[in-house]
Amino acid sequence: MADIRNYIFAERKRVIDIALQCDLTVICEKKELRGYQIYIVEQWVCDRNEPSNIVKVFTGDDSHVIQVAIIGIPVSLLRNPTLEIKRLLNDSSHLKLKPTPDGEIMLVDLTELRFDRDPILVPNGDYDACITQAYVNINLRRTNCTGRISLTLLSPNPTSEEKFRSSYKIADAAEFNDAVINLVKLVQKSLFLFGLLKEDYIDGLICNETKVALWIFHSQYGPVKSIDFSGKEPWLEPHLMASIVSKLLVCRNKLQDLNFTNVKDPFTDYNAFREDIGNYQVTNPSSILTPI
């Protein structure tokens, strides 16, 4: 179809979601592409303002394989792209378009990356399969459960896992990666209900925006008396996490006592609970009930 141009992406799930929202054509959800490698850039993963988390590199070596999705974009939309399409195509000077039989792929020369960017090779070329491990490892660093080692996509060492389990009281029976992601989501949902974090960021990663929200909560409510919580860099210190969750549960119990909510678990039904909070605040505009 001459009126559609095909583009190749390695962040398959994210791109397919955008394609469906923008009514684009999903040509192929998963395809193997040889002669390329992908790298996750740690700083981009942690920054929600970056349009992509990875760089794609052409090697020409058939032993190098990446998993990609192919999206068809109408030429008319390329002439007048929406903000979502601009972010999808990540149009910037350091990207080079390379034609392939399946469509065009956006490539980067690693030597052109800024010196303070840390690319990590995705060994199996499957971004979607490794991004959760990247989240877990970043979270372990941002909860002071690892040393100052470089980020990898390997499973954490037993020492780091034991420190996290001990610090946050995680049962040995709980699958570790799930426990790390779900604990962060729990805190992010609380921060969302306190009006400190966007709902889109509730994905289990302690991103830069989550760190800012943690610091704002700490600054406004001063809940932590531990010397471990440094004023130089906010992090998910266990006492701070407990304070955030406890404050939300107190709020929930108050609303239940006042017959403003029937939500039993504000972390599972957080959108319904947010509506209950809003209804209470409309009825009691002078209330000091915290979440908004």
DSSP state of 155: P
* H-type alpha helices, the chain: 12-21, 42-46, 75-79, 83-89, 127-142, 158-168, 176-193, 208-221, 238-257, 270-283
Is-contact 223 237, C-beta < 8 A?
A: no
pLDDT at position 31 over 90: yes
Q: Map residue 56 onto helix, strand or coil.
A: strand
Q: What is the pLDDT of residues 271-280, one digit of tens each?
A: 889 888 888 8
Distance CA 109, CA 58 (A): 9
What is the reported pTM?
Answer: 0.90
pLDDT at position 227 over 90: no
> Helix 176-193 vs helix 158-168: angle between axes, to the nearest 10 degrees?
40
Q: Quick one: pLDDT at residue 56? A: 94
pLDDT at position 224 over 70: no
Q: What is the mean pLDDT of residues 98-127?
A: 92
Reported confidence tier of residue 109, pLDDT bands at 50, 70, 90:
confident
CA 54, distance to chain mean position in Å, is 13
Reported confidence tier of residue 286, pLDDT bands at 50, 70, 90:
low
* List of residues 6+ apart from 51 with CB closer than 8 A: 87, 88, 90
Q: What is the mean pLDDT of residues 155-175?
A: 95
Q: Quick one: pLDDT at residue 225? A: 57
Is-contact 150 138, C-beta < 8 A?
A: no
pLDDT at position 134 over 90: yes
